[in-house]
Amino acid sequence: MTAASIAAWGLVGLIVASALRIGVQRGSILPSESERLAPPALLEVVTALMFSGLAWRIGAKPDLFAYSWLAGIGVLLAAVDWNFRQLPTKLIWPSGLVLAALFGLAAVINRDAYPLIRSAAGMLTLLAFYGTLYFLRPGQLGGGDLRLGGLLGLALGWSGWSTVLSGTLLGWLAAALALVALRATRRQVKPSNDVALGPFLVVGAITALLIQPLM
């Protein structure tokens, strides 16, 4: 894609982020103090940068729409989890359906169903992984994190198993570093309460998509 096309796609990301912000604030999804979702324009700027980065990395391919949707909803979910320590099911399940539909459309256009099958397998794999952690370590992992893991597995699986692995590891590594940094400040930190895992899982997934060879 040309520089102009990449910039234009970034503008699309800004519009998408603005629409998502308005939607959650008017849709009774968040607490009444939802104006604290993110500072003005921060959500939009970060999403625009991710849209541009994905456009540069992927190019004008059918799966760009799916990955861009992941970026838009991922930034929103990260902001919600960071501020409110919750990942609303009302956001995750519809987002997963949209993501699956976009990958399905990409599979039809590419005339190749294998990435879609791998995408579903990636979702099931991460659901199983996070589900195991959820039941083995009650209180350490929330149900929202479990559902977010499935959403990210759906996206990472399309790219490949190495991306599923790297995206998951990067997210947990980022969360661990943040926890160490907080503890270094001598704060009393409880991972389940004071450190939101969702933003780090999103960052890890998007980073993996940007650095891994996409199929």
Give the start-to-end residue ranges of the domains of the chain.
Answer: 3-211
- 32 pLDDT tier (thresholds 50, 70, 90): low
- Sequence-distant (≥ 6) Cβ neighbours of residue 90 within 8 angstroms: 27, 29
pLDDT at 191 over 60: no
Query: Could you give the CA distance from residue 60 to residue 68 in angstroms, rounded to a whole number?
Result: 12
* E strand intervals along the chain: none
pLDDT at 25: 80
- Sequence-distant (≥ 6) Cβ neighbours of residue 211 within 8 angstroms: 166
- 182 pLDDT tier (thresholds 50, 70, 90): confident
pLDDT at 214 over 50: no
CB 153 within 8 A of CB 122: yes
pLDDT tens-digit readout, 111-168: 999 999 999 999 999 999 999 999 887 777 888 999 999 999 999 999 999 999 999 9
pLDDT at 19: 93
Q: How far is CA 120 from CA 10, 61, 184, 190, in A?
A: 28, 20, 40, 33
Place of tokens 């102009």: 4
* Residue 186 backbone zone (phi > 0: left; psi -120 to 50: alpha; other: beta): left
> Highest-confidence range of 34-48, 122-136, 200-214, by mean pLDDT?
122-136
Place of tokens 């607490």: 31
Reported pTM: 0.90
* Residue 187 backbone zone (phi > 0: left; psi -120 to 50: alpha; other: beta): beta
CB 40 within 8 A of CB 165: no
- The DSSP string of 6-67 is HHHHHHHHHHHHHHHHHHHHHTT-S-TTGGGGSSTTHHHHHHHHHHHHHHHHH-S-THHHHH
Q: Helix, strand, or coil here: 62? A: coil
pLDDT at 215: 44
pLDDT tens-digit readout, 148-161: 999 999 999 999 99
C-alpha 184, offset from chain centre? 28
